[in-house]
Amino acid sequence: MKVLVVGGGGREHALVWKISQSPLVEKIYAAPGNGGISGMAECVEIGDTDVFGLADFAQQKGIDLTVVGPEAPLVAGIADEFNKRGLKVFGPGGRAAMLEGSKVFAKSFMKKHNIPTGDFRVFEDFEDALENIGIFGFPVVIKADGLAAGKGVIIAKDRDEAEQGLREIMVERRFGSAGDKVLIEEFLEGTEMTMLCFVDGQTIVPMESARDYKRIFDDDKGPNTGGMGTFSPNDIYTPEIDREFREQIMALVLDAMRKEGIDYRGVLYFGLMATGDGIKVLEFNCRFGDPETQVILPRLKNDLVEVMNAVTERTLKDIEIEWASRASVCVVMASAGYPSDYKKGEIIQGLEGPQEEDVYVFHAGTKQDSGIFYTNGGRVLGVTAMGDSKQQAREKAYGAVERIQFKGAQYRKDIAG
Ligand code: AMP
Ligand code: GLY
């Protein structure tokens, strides 16, 4: 098979790495890929939201399966275009991807179908939102409706911060039209969990649990990012929580999608909060998590391409998905300044040399030129390790982080701690 992976971050590097292990695969292309991916796949310079360019490329090259990593092309309808042209694609269509593309759509869907989530109100007018900013007390959560690369969520501890956040989204338009509508949301206290699920429209199968660290600084301080580290399994995900998730969330979501005529085929990401009042859904994403994928895929025993084929062919119920019982930990190394402005083009040192067993350095924002790797994004590397315990995986991951250097590198010291 020829496989095209769309995207160029750490998640896509992990996808390419896992796909390259499939005996079914003879050639992998990545669009646009990155420095690390270029060692495993042929990178082509097509932007990940150039839906028509990507479909043309898939036709010209006779691609057998296209795997879409990021949300933007999915929300832009890449799967619909590929399906229209008879090209096999892993990822939901544009309407289904609205579960991530519009937080207002997602929250309304949850409310309508009694899927547990925090209370919320939707506002289109700044003055109106300002007037109601205290309806759930403080702290409060303010969210831009549309896509904002994981940064459109503001947790405001008091009225001043809330007003400032609202102004950034609705007046200063920090996220452009993504801020046409805002959600004011009840602040939920608890511990976060990520559950990724394979969905083929009829069957939904959860992967292993993970924990993502969204804030930039240790002890969950500072602004939200795309994710600064992860580990799997998530130790707070007990068998009781698993039962609750399957029965009171996952099954309801599948049923609700059927009722709404949403034919979801791909990965559905559940961002969850375990609260004193049960598990609640914080968000849906319409794709693999980044950096959750970096810790989940090393634990998957199956051939990922076989699983993806089953998703596209709606035969997920016929396969058994198996996981290694080992733990994995991923520490993200980011550029100085991220998640705000940051510089690119710093030389990365310490990547060469023999790969240590059970350590995987997934590249997120890197570029390779004449054998030298340069930083090329906010999140630069996802340094991942597996171990017999979380502690062992953590030590290996941090050991590898310490051997890698680039100017201004920042990373959290408390991942999986
Ligand atoms: P989202 O993109 O909606 O998942 O929000 C990003 C992050 O903001 C989540 O992973 C949580 O850490 C935090 N968050 C979102 N909504 C809430 C909420 N209602 N209460 C507390 N934290 C939240
Ligand atoms: N790690 C968060 C996300 O993928 O959205």
In the three-class reduction of DSSP (H, G, I as helix; E, B as strand; rest coil), residue 40 is classed as: coil
For residue 417, the CA-to-ligand 1 centroid distance in Å is 21
Q: For residue 413, tell me if it sits in a domain.
A: no
Give the residue among 147, 144, 290, 296 at the shortest CA–CA distance from 226. 290
Q: For residue 267, tell me if it sits in a domain.
A: yes
In the three-class reduction of DSSP (H, G, I as helix; E, B as strand; rest coil), residue 366 is classed as: strand
Whether residue 150 has its Cβ less than 6 Å from ligand 2: yes
pLDDT at site 179? 82
62-116 pLDDT tens trace: 999 999 999 999 999 999 999 999 999 999 999 999 999 999 999 999 999 999 9
Indicate whether 138 and 205 sit together in one domain.
no
Indicate whether 206 and 175 sit together in one domain.
no
The answer to whether the pTM exceeds 0.85 is yes
188-222 pLDDT tens trace: 999 999 999 999 999 999 999 999 999 999 999 99
Question: Which of 186, 216, 236 delimits the end of a domain?
Answer: 186
Does the CA dihedral 144-34-9-69 come out positive or negative?
Answer: positive
What residue numbers bound the domain in which 59 lies?
2-94
260-306 pLDDT tens trace: 999 999 999 999 999 999 999 999 999 999 999 999 999 999 999 99
For residue 399, the domain's CATH number is: 3.90.600.10
139-169 pLDDT tens trace: 999 999 998 876 788 999 999 999 999 999 9
268 contacts: CB under 8 Å, gap ≥ 6: 92, 99, 196, 197, 199, 204, 253, 284, 285, 286
Output the CA–CA distances (angstroms, integers) from residue 94 to 79, 83, 177, 196, 321, in the order listed.
7, 12, 18, 19, 27
Indicate whether 223 and 295 sit together in one domain.
yes
Alpha-carbon distance of 360 to 384, in angstroms, equals 5
Q: Which atom of ligand 1 is nearest to the CA of 190?
A: 21
For residue 291, the CA-to-ligand 2 centroid distance in Å is 6
Helix 103-112 / helix 94-101 crossing angle, nearest 10 deg? 100
Indicate whether 26 and 49 sit together in one domain.
yes
Does the CA dihedral 100-378-216-299 come out positive or negative?
Answer: positive
Structure confidence at residue 354 as a pLDDT band (50, 70, 90): low
For residue 270, the CA-to-ligand 1 centroid distance in Å is 12
For the chain, the domain total comes to 4
For residue 46, the domain's CATH number is: 3.40.50.20
Q: In the predicted model, what is the mean pLDDT of the chain?
A: 96
Question: Which of 258, 289, 318 delimits the end of a domain?
Answer: 318
Question: Quick one: which ligand is closest to 211's CA?
Answer: 2
Indicate whether 217 and 290 sit together in one domain.
yes
Surface-to-core class of residue 357, CB atoms within 10 Å of its CB (0-12 exposed, 13-18 middle, 19+ buried): exposed
Residue nearest to atom 5 of ligand 2 (CA): 289
Indicate whether 322 pLDDT > 80.
Answer: yes
For residue 227, the CA-to-ligand 2 centroid distance in Å is 6
